[in-house]
Structure 1
């Protein structure tokens, strides 16, 4: 604030007028608003009317100016910034040495970019990428693509694999694996995968990719068995810690498990695929509906004009502008999604047909049939999502099968037109999963899952499973089942339930979740005798009410391992096994991006290393940033 205000004050009547404190004269501050006000007239009034006060004003102004200058000098650096010399400019323009820390760091990040983002090695020769790097750091010299593929890639692979070796050397109770064979569409390449998972000492599920190696020649059981042996040797995996290996239903894979003396598990998702195809999709009326659906979807997929017309009708109805789903014969749920997308656009299709032609159309009966098919398959779609989740385990198999079989045994108003298919589907599920509820691995895992315990077994199977668990606890090591290959099976035998037809017009409300509730209400823990400390642990654990299905079973064991120490360690082994080979399939989804049209000549060795780094490196990058 100016020192002149020591001698003036703003008028109370008008803000643009100032009043002299010495003679009460009113003076204009100039301007029409606060932004344009000035003190020139006030200073002139002091100088002409009150010279002694003007001298005081000048003194105050000089003191304020000196104080501001002193403060500015105090804030300024002690010495002026030196002017850069020519040598300094030349040094900044000098390129980094190839072995300098800065150059190595940039090269490492570019290699990470290539591996993590599925970039071809040729990206380092692209003009746009080189211009970007040159703009960010002009002193960096870009190495050749061969340097990245032949030097940087092996170096990074070795670093990441060292981390994996260290991880596998930790306290692991048991390792479970998934495996699959994949063939590329763009090159004559086949790869065999191996992913591992286990439960660590903190009861957290750990997953890691070990192999996606080239698999040449015929895919015989012997070749697969030998490949497994090499992969286990490469990672120095103790065979005694191999709990189970999940694979598809191919005979060569099943025979390889048996020849390798490994406990094999058939992928539940693949088995459901076979059961649905066999029991439902093979029905003539349903197959006809699916064939018509494929023709309709194919018409819009291959005709931009037809799709544009469809979009216009969707806009008129105010419905979301979505494309129809195309199904894949090897994925039953893709057929479900195709029919679902068609049924959701039923009105839109009806309007389209009124003005335009389609290669095929649904009649009124077929639209009702589609609705009932969707109702019948909805629980299977729910199961497929559950077992394909990252935390699903073999403990889910028996309860899920018990629930779906019970649901298929119930009559519903949506059975019209699909009653025969429903019965065939039940028979297919029962046949495909005929051994699960008697297989020790499934039974023990189910009981050790605090969400299920023994509530999904009959009295005889409860007692037999209890004896198996008790025997393993007493021996302190897993019991061998003497069988190389494990088959998925159904839950308990279907009990004869009374069936009644619904008389209401309300839609069916019975769901898969309802079946879980029914089973839990019907089963009570049988009487148990306490004979030893481990038996007391088992009795105490089984006598408690199961936790909700939405809860994490591993969190239960982490919290309660002090109460049930022996059972907790046993749970680390049995709950480590997944019920599907989804991890390997997801791995090969990533592989299809690594080996694509831009990299169809990439060698399998380099493709494996790129895929390995892509899947593993983020795990360690997260740790480094903590």
Structure 2
């Protein structure tokens, strides 16, 4: 396109509804000038002639512009006609430091962390083709470049996490896990706290490689190194929750932090004790496992079972094999066997497979009724909103529920052993004043399940001033949800009393204790204290004490992510980098 043809378009625009004509831009004219019959015959000469004859002053301006050697030939083109430079820009590949390219690269790094994808995905032809289709100008960087981007992302997330926990009282959970892929041991550390807005927060701090012996001294030293890296003073850690292993308890005591055993793990130990106490139950479980093993090793047997299910009008459901370290998997196995009783019995009769007797079926049915409330307790203490406040009331209510459970003929020994195990293993919870303090500060329970001796100890503890800044948010109503746990329904449905002014700690304790307890629809006691303005001293204690979780399930969930990161396809992944990927997977939403 020469200069003369380009500049004329300063004064004309092609008509959108009639491309053979160009419209004069002069507001008093607006005449449509024909520029040819078809694209091959289009010319700007009629436009120049119109300008010469109708708008002499604009024509002279046009001629003067032509005489200037520096005039660009690509300015003021029609809106629907791209310039040559912009056309080249549309197909030119962006360099990696381009702002738009960096934004996409960051999203790729986030996707790898959030979706537990291997970095090698950047070399996969399908992924490359997808990004090229979405944005042809973007060039996917190499694996080392993406690795560096993930490191930068981790630095940003870690800085944000340090800002969140700075100055807060926290509670932590920890556990040890061995990868089946590379046989390396890892120690997890998660923290839980209630922020100044009285919102519960949970962060994953570490899944750190842990070589050497797992002695209490080594674990304590490792924990100290980890909290030092996060700049967390030990004095700011209220509770450390772990499993009930003696080395973990000794390590946390040596570490200088109050220890609480995982209540979910405690239930596991109690149920194991009870199951092994009665021979008729262990025998019935052995038969169940033999039946399930028969189907696990034969595709033909599974197909015949499906045919029997079709014959009986039942849905296709596989039998469930239990896992020794998960008592609830045994419960799932029994429930599925009972659900498929008709199909299993008919199949066993026709195929010479071990069968459960009618008495064993009856025993298993009663075992389910006894274990169901234990499952409910486990689910509640494993929830993200759970706190230590659930343990003592939960134990008391569970024990009462089991004692009042009728129709235990044939499983009396099992039930008695379960209650005995609960009494033995949960006793220390009921005697720990700090754990009971959490229950006292839970408006659903208060002092109902606390002995007078421990209650006096709690009042002495409350006389100490917690090092927490008093921030009183605006009052609002606490959210209410329907409880899913049957044995909690022994708690009364009550209504809060009218607010009043309280000035001294003794008066706060007295008035708080005298108020009706909240009902179990309140899932998180922190919600109550967020809107509470009558008891500032108790509110500060609640912020610290209710941060402690009732179980170490959070650490176990972290290792589930670690198992996905350290997979068979990535068995040579650096352990430190795998920790970065796990932490980003769980904490990256903090940047949103």
Under TM normalisation by the shorter chain, which class is it? Answer: 0.7 to 0.9
Taking a change above 3 Å as real, the CA distance of residues 147 and 544 of structure 1, as seen in their structure-2 partners, is same
Match of 1:243 in 2: 238
> Residue 318 of structure 1 aligns to a residue in which SS?
coil
Deviation per CA, 1:198-238, whole angstroms, max 9, x where unpaired? Answer: 11222211111111111112112121111111111111112
Distance 2:109 2:382 in 1: 32
Contact conserved, 1:470 with 1:534, CA < 8 A, in 2?
A: no
1:415-494 alignment runs, 5 A limit: 415-458=408-451, 460-461=452-453, 464-465=454-455, 467-477=456-466
Corresponding residue pairs, total: 496
Match of 2:104 in 1: 106
- Deviations 1:527-567, CA, capped at 9 Å, x for gaps: xxx9971111111110011100121322211122x111111
Per-residue deviation at 1:322? 1.8
Q: Tell me the residue number matched to 1:583.
A: 554
Larger Rg: 1
Superposed CA deviations along residues 281-325 of structure 1, whole A, max 9, x for unmatched, are 442211111111112222223322222222222233333322222
Change (3 A) 1:350 1:531: closer
Equivalents in 2 of 1:355, 1:286: separation in Å?
26
2:189 maps to what in 1?
Answer: 194
Report the Cα distance in structure 1 between the residues aligned to 2:445 and 2:101, rounded to whole angstroms: 56
> Which of 376, 380, 383 lines up with 1:389 in the alignment?
383
**1:512 corresponding residue in structure 2:** 487
Please, which of 360, 363, 388 is the counterpart of residue 357 of structure 2?
363
SS in structure 2 at match of 1:182: strand
Name the CA distance, whole Å, in 2 between partners of 1:370 and 1:336: 9
3-state secondary structure, aligned to 1:475? coil
Residue 91 of structure 1: CA displacement?
A: 2.5
**The 10-residue stretch of structure 1 (609-618 or 404-413) with the greater mean CA deviation from structure 2:** 404-413
TM-score, normalised by the number of residues in structure 1: 0.76
Contact 2:388–2:546, Cα closer than 8 Å, also in 1: yes
- TM-score normalized by structure 2? 0.80
Matches of 2:507 and 2:237, distance apart in 1:
29
Corresponding residue to 2:315 among 285, 298, 320: 320
**Partner residue in 1 for 2:287:** 292
Is residue 2:401 matched to residue 1:407? yes
Partner Cα separation in structure 1 for residue 443 and residue 305 of structure 2: 50
Deviation at residue 103 of structure 1 after TM alignment: 1.6
2:138 aligned with 1:140: yes
In structure 1, how many angstroms separate the alpha carbons of the residues matched to 2:86 and 2:439? 72
Change (3 A) 1:82 1:343: closer
Number of the residue aligned with 1:30: none
> For 2:427, what is the secondary structure of its paired residue?
coil
- 85-94 or 608-617, which deviates more: 85-94
In the alignment, is the contact (CA less than 8 A) between 1:407 and 1:515 conserved in 2? Answer: no
Q: Please point out which of 142, 149, 155 is paired with 2:152.
A: 155
CA distance in 1, matches of 2:401, 2:569: 49
Q: Residue 344 of structure 2 corresponds to which residue in structure 1?
A: 349
CA distance in structure 1 between the aligned counterparts of 2:365 and 2:79, rounded to whole angstroms: 79
Question: 2: distance between equivalents of 1:404 and 1:516?
Answer: 12
Alpha-carbon contact 2:433-2:458 (below 8 Å) kept: no
Are positions 1:572 and 2:570 aligned together? Answer: no
Q: Residue 516 of structure 2: which of 545, 557, 561 is its match? A: 545
Distance 1:136 1:455 in 2: 62
SS in 1 for 2:154: helix
Q: Secondary structure at the residue paired with 2:206? A: strand
Unmatched segments (≥5 aa) in structure 2: 1-26, 32-75, 468-484, 495-500
The CA deviation string for residues 41-94 of structure 1, in whole angstroms up to 9 with x for no partner, is xxxxxxxxxxxxxxxxxxxxxxxxxxxxx9xx99xxx98335334443333222
Decide which of 585, 601, 606 is 2:577's aligned counterpart.
Answer: 606
Cα pair distance change 1:319/1:602, threshold 3 Å: same
**Which residue pairs with 1:122 in the alignment?**
120
Residue in 2 that maps onto 1:557: 529
Counterparts of 1:1-400 in structure 2 under 5 Å? 80-81=78-79, 83-149=81-147, 151-169=148-166, 172=168, 174-358=169-353, 360-400=354-394
- What is the rounded CA distance, in whole Å, between the counterparts of 1:604 and 1:282 in structure 2? 42
Q: 1:350 to 1:82 in 2, by over 3 A?
A: closer
**1:565-610 Cα shifts (integer Å, max 9, x gaps):** 1111111111111110000001111111111011111011100000
CA contact (8 A) 2:489 2:520 kept: no
Partner of 1:66: none
CA deviations over 1:157-194 (Å, ceiling 9, x no partner): 1011111111112x52x200010111111112211111
Cα distance in 2 for partners of 1:209, 1:232 equals 12
SS in 1 for 2:266: helix
Q: Distance in 1 between matches of 2:590 and 2:214?
A: 32
Report deviation, 1:411.
5.4
Q: Give the Cα separation in 1 of the matches to 2:85 and 2:91.
A: 10
Counterpart Cα distance in 2 of 1:103 and 1:590: 29
Structure 2: how far apart are the matches of 1:320 and 1:446?
A: 44
**Which residue of 2 is the match for residue 527 of structure 1?**
none
CA distance in 2, matches of 1:332, 1:263: 28
Structure 1 counterpart SS, 2:240: strand
Q: CA deviation at 1:469?
A: 3.7
Determine the structure 2 residue equivalent to 1:40: none
Aligned residues of 1:396 and 1:446 also touching (Cα < 8 A)? yes
Per-residue Cα deviation, 1:414-458 (whole angstroms, up to 9, x for no partner):
x11110111111111111122221111121111110000111234
- 1:444, 1:574 within 8 Å by CA — same for their partners in 2? yes
Inter-partner Cα distance in structure 2 for 1:620 and 1:534: 39
